[in-house]
Structure 1
Amino acid sequence: MSRPIFSEGTLSAQVVRTQQYLLYLPKDYNATEKKVWPLVLSLHGVGERGTDLNNVKKNGLPKLIAAGKEYPFIGVFPQLYSATFANGWEADILGNLLDMIEKEYNVDRKRVYVTGLSMGGFGTWDLAITYPDRFAAAIPICGGGNTEHIDRIKNLPVWCFHGALDNTVPVQRSIDMVEALKKVGGNVKLTVYPNVKHDSWSQTYKNEEVINWMLQQKQE
């Protein structure tokens, strides 16, 4: 009997809610072995928030994994409760989640990555800036953020994606972040899809070049 694709977990937070998440382990993962694995934290958008973890599988990496795609990394896919949408993703909660996963699983701490789409793209920028020494790379998709402390991630490899015709989150939000990061000497590149609206994540996550680029990044 094969094991489930995902397992479910919860993190008791220091606020009035519990962070629940899906966890993906590579098929060759063995807790008793010393081999360590890359860890990818992936943040969903507005449409997947709530209390039903199945919603997390509607888009992005969880959707591909649910359809049978296999990856050589540990995947963590938290879900944001509807009631917390006004505040978006909270970096301290996500930091606690990463702490727990890194303690419980064989994680290569030099190869921890963060990515996200739409609201998760905003969360990706924010989390990277909050914990600038934690990640080996970041892939924010159709998001944006605050450029005030962008210099904190000038040494972090970032590949940003956005649709030129996005009428939900204007492409200028990504352009502003990328240009600000370039001004401080950041290691960043931007891919703008010319004929794409808000869904710039589907082709991004299906692109093996993107996944390979991410997994090649490693902290010194």
Structure 2
Amino acid sequence: MKNVTAITEVFGDGQKVSAVAVEYDKDIDNSKLTTSDYSVDSKTITKVYANTEAAKASKGVNGKYVIIELSTDISPDTRNGPGNGANGAGNGQNGNAAQGASQGANPPQGGGGPSLGSAASDSSESKPLTVNVTQNGDIATTDGQTYKADAGVMTNSKDINLVVEDFKQLVYTDPNYNNEKLMYNLYVPKNYDPSKKYPLVLFMHDAGVVSNNPTNTLTQGLGAVIWATPSEQAKNECFVLAPQYTSVIADDSSTTTELMDITVDLVKELEKQYSIDPNRLYNTGQSMGGMTSIAMDIKYPDMFAASLLVACQWDPTKVTPMAKDNLWIIVSEGDSKASPGMDAITEALKKQGATVSSKATWNAEASAAELSTDVSNMLAAGCNINYTVFKNGSHRYTWQYAYTIEGVRDWLFKQVKK
């Protein structure tokens, strides 16, 4: 083995090593490889095959790289916890002031969540994921040689961070707020053409991801990166904006800091820099980020064409400006704050003339086909507000699955501001 490269992807529960590329000095015979030829510390191997590059493939071909694919299932230990509402855990990687607390709100009084403005204390540097590989079996080359099994352990010296590395890390300075700075990640469509108009998706993270590391919002889960994946861009080419907040910007008393307004100013600035369609701006967020989405919809009622609100809520006495908005709300049954909180909001919006789909309970872990049927059934009602509840689950569980539902993402892009 010459070297080892870790291939990482982001899933509902965060960034993981999904494959390992082991490079040799000669082409490897793909037909003679088996999963027992290698072991990877603390990982379950699902496929082993050769390739001509350090990349996953649908089938193997003879080449100098051996690709070891790994299981990336969400751990049962993280599906339903820890915590509901304001106590739901974030991604647990930051070690900052807000870690272990994802926003919720008990409308209308609130209370109990992270303090507004609580600042991160973690490092701004990312810690690359590592993986340890052992070659347990004899490996045959295409020219008839054999590389004998070796008990030595090799650790990756390189990494390929799929989708994450397609985002630019930038800093916005807002002249309207004393030149306060906001770190952000921006995905620009790969075939960007200034003569075309593109939609933009704004994703805002939960309080557990408050951090000085600009890319934490990209690696905590799918909320930011899903829109920039090749398959999604092939259908819905768009800009993706993912700010990285270094402090808690929304609290359980339905209050935000000026960073909410600075984020809006950033969107407006990007509209000046790029050919972005002002009628197809979308905001979404989980927990604190979803709460911030609601705050934006209230204060800037004519800005966004639609909002995907995940595991969040707000003071229902303040939501009147949202009555005609296109909203998709997703919470979990076991979320002791977001679930009753969104019940209160939808009841308040109905009184203001909103049409709300019947509150439907879905199995978030159902097959793609079943979830597609769930989406179709909900959309058949023709309401401006769709309301989905995941069976069981707690606060964090909601966003581990919400962004995986293709039909919900497709719905977002069909909304156009009138």
Query: What is the TM-score of this pair, normalised by structure 2?
Result: 0.48
Q: Which residue of 2 aligns with 1:46?
A: 207
1:121-140 residue pairs with structure 2 within 5 A?
121-140=290-309
Partner of 1:185: 353
CA offset at residue 29 of structure 1?
A: 1.6
Q: Does 1:207 pair with 2:405?
A: yes
Of 54, 63, 81, which residue of structure 1 is paired with 2:246? Answer: 81
Question: What per-residue deviation string (whole Å, max 9, x for no partner) do you get for residues 106-140 of structure 1?
Answer: 10111001110011111111111111100100111
Using a 3 Å threshold, how does the CA distance of structure 1 residues 215 and 67 change in structure 2: closer, same or farther?
Answer: closer
Cα deviation 1:21-45 (Å, max 9, x = unaligned): 0001222223xx3101001111100
Change (3 A) 1:66 1:28: closer
Equivalent residue pairs, number = 215
CA-CA distance at 1:82 after TM superposition = 2.7
| Structure 1 segment 72-151 matched on structure 2, within 5 A | 72-82=237-247, 88=256, 90-151=259-320
Shift of 1:83: 6.5
Deviation per CA, 1:79-119: give whole Å up to 9, x if none: 11136576656431121111111111110111001110011
Matches of 1:177 and 1:75, distance apart in 2: 28
Candidates 167, 174, 198, aligned match of 1:37:
198
Give a deviation string over 1:157-205, Cα, whole Å, max 9, x none: 11101011125x4411121112211221123121010122112123221
Task: Name stretches of at least 5 consecutive residues in structure 2 with no aligned partner.
Answer: 1-162, 355-383
**In angstroms, what is the RMSD of aligned CA positions?**
2.3
- The question of whether the paired residues in 1 share the 8 Å contact of 2:305 and 2:326 is answered with yes
Shift of residue 67 of structure 1?
7.1
1:171 counterpart residue number: 339
SS in 2 for 1:148: helix
**Residue 173 of structure 2 corresponds to which residue in structure 1?**
12
Moved more, 83-92 or 98-107: 83-92
> Deviation of residue 73 (structure 1)?
1.2
Distance 2:300 2:250 in 1: 22
Corresponding letter in the other structure for 1:175: D
Moved more, 184-193 or 15-24: 15-24
Q: 1: CA distance between counterparts of 2:272 and 2:186? A: 14
Counterparts of 2:227 and 2:281 in 1: how far apart (Å)? 19
Structure whose residues are more often helix by fraction: 1
Task: Find the aligned partners of 1:218 and 1:66 in 2 and give their Cα distance.
Answer: 20
Relative to structure 1, is the Cα distance of residues 6 and 174 closer, same or farther in structure 2, using a 3 angstrom cutoff? same
What is the rounded CA distance, in whole Å, between the counterparts of 1:63 and 1:69 in structure 2?
12
After superposition, the Cα gap between the structure-2 partners of 1:206 and 1:84, relative to the gap in structure 1 and judged at 3 Å, is closer
What is the DSSP-based 3-state SS (H/G/I as helix, E as strand, rest coil) of the residue aligned with 2:296?
helix
Normalization by structure 1: what TM-score? 0.88
Cα shift at 1:54: 2.0
One-letter identity of the residue aligned with 1:163: S
Structure 2 residue matching 1:173: 3-state secondary structure: helix
Supply the AA of the counterpart residue of 1:64: I
Provide the C-alpha distance between the structure 2 equivalents of 1:213 and 1:16, rounded to a whole number of angstroms. 37
Please name the residue that 1:216 is paired with: 414
- Say if 2:200 and 2:282, in contact at 8 Å, map to a contact too: yes
Cα gap change, 1:10/1:188 in structure 2, threshold over 3 Å: closer, same or farther?
Answer: same
Identity of aligned residues (%): 28
